[in-house]
Chain A
Amino acid sequence: MSNAPPTHAFSLRDLSRSFRYFRLDGLNLELPMGQIMGFVGPNGAGKSTTIRLLLGLIGAEAGEIRLMGRPVPEQVAEAKHEVAYVSDDMRLYPGATLAWHMRFVASLFPGWDGSYAQALLKRFNLQAEQRMGGMSRGEHMKAVLLLALARRPRLLVLDEPTSGLDPVARHELLAELMEIVRDEQRSILFSSHHTLDVERISDVIAFIDRGRLVDARDKESFLERWRRLQIDIPEGVTLPALDDVVEVSPEGRLARLTTSNYQPALHGAIERAGARIHEVQRMSLEEIFVASVMGSRTEERT
């Protein structure tokens, strides 16, 4: 292996894995160092499976995985020195205190930042001497996050960290995450089905649905390219097949056209066909996500 620092926090090439009722199919995804990727998909889309494959927790049937420049699963232990993983279903030892967990993790990571851990303890309002078994779900998740962040990892993998939290705990957790993201130069893979959470912190967005990558690009590009047009299509007029139009659906007397690659030239094409554009709307990431997934499912069926 070369000593040059890796250019990507991770890369997945043609990754496949089958289960009885689910298949992750030929997934290609990579995260350049220093970027924050929002990994968005509905429940059961394959987000956790992808992350577990990435970390060598489960094995792939085909494809290549590199984590911090190292092949997985062959060198996953070495790679994990620079990676911290937090999952919504991860639990700590219920009979041990948070202080014990902090000492335990500190003993394994030379880069453990004790003063940062103390600052996070205060910021998260956690009691170090409290046993994990007595902590609420939100406190537990904050404790897991503290243990991950104080390691100062180069890659932070967060699998649905806000799932199952009440709105207050979710807001607190995201606020702290935003703070951390602003302060730090690290790569983050943030998986969620809450597009609002993802939109707040991510540079790059990847959509996954039914085990297949639907789209992946930088957030601004997503928000710039997707548009929804309200158009008036008079009787007898039929729109021609237009490039990058994901959906045309009736909306009252008007029609709603969704495009994944908005260009001013689209106006001319619509108007030449005899239709009239009423309004061009920007779309939220959630709307883009839903349209993207629905478009992909329609494509799959045809």
Chain B
Amino acid sequence: MYKIFLTFILSIFLLPYSSTFAVEVDMLIPPSDFQAFDTPNDNGKSVSLRWPSSLSESTEAEYVVYASLRKNGPFTTEVLRINSKTMYEEGSDSNFHYMEIKPGKFFKKESDNTDGKPSYFFKLVMMANPENVAVENIASVTPKGNWFNWKKLNNFIILIAFSALVLWFIEHAKKNPNLYLRKISGLDAIDDALGRATEMGKPVLYVHGLNGMGSISTIAAVNILGRIAIRVAEYDTTLKVSNIDPIVLSVSQEVVKESYLEAGRPDAYVEDNVFMAASEQFPYVAAVSGIMIREKTAANFFMGYFYAESLILAETGAATGAIQIAATDSYTQLPFFITTCDYTLIGEELYAASAYLSREPLLLGSLRAQDIAKGIIITALVLGAALATVGIGFISFLFKAG
């Protein structure tokens, strides 16, 4: 009896330490499912992997995915290794994991599929340490490229709608050519500037900006150059056009030559007046500044996209006393032009200049479409902000970038 009582007392003292000697078995509970599917809206090189969270996830556990070109393996190529508490699917509230991988990086040759598109087989493994491994089912997928990115559908619809609006107003302008256009002081001042240069007998300087012919602002600048060149030819003033890009140079030479021809003054065209100043930013600035100071140009036109050189050009021109008209869609340089130039066309006014100067109904029609589109966007902005404030994100969703 005494021995039984002693054993009982000893076991009470030994009980807290019994776990130290007992063998622990931490069983990993693998995820209940594992899916592999073609990543939507891509070029066919990406595969998406998705699986539900496991109850035994911890910071010590990892998910490892092995891939193979054959269903029966071998699964020796490791394509993914993540901590089990990471890479949750957005919006799943940590209930699912989601990853996109490019299996082509790991395999150089295609699979045995007869249609030539490789199929990939994936095996998900959950690991805590080398002794504890859980294995899930095999998932397979044949990725393929998509012909339309559905995430950009809203963008596409807006593009088609705006294009239809522009074309409709262009057609409408043919029937009703007297469209109202608000006054743009900078463009009205072009004639004054050219007249001033003619009276002073000094040349007019035209600067395109630093972008190439692929930039819309340069195309708009070249359009304006054509219209200015016609008036310069009529006034018999010298026009100097400095260029930084050789393609823009070729186009400018052609545009100015044709403008002189249209004005009936082909003899007045001097090819050396449309020249390449330099091919780099600051050498170009130095060359143009030198021209302004040496030749004392009476009127300077800065039309196009500018970078850091804008203030140097505009200040140098202001120091020589020239009348300066600038037009740029570069919002970082607008403050410099506004403070140093006599007139500045802001942003889209550069694109509208061609229509404004020519007053062609077809071009004016597109300006009306631009204004209507802006009105729609402003309405959407105000409505969207108000609705988003009360928790309705419908308009935000409509305009979400894909």
Chains A and B bind each other: no
Q: Which A residues form the contact surface with B (CB < 8 A)? A: none
Q: Which B residues form the contact surface with A (CB < 8 A)? A: none
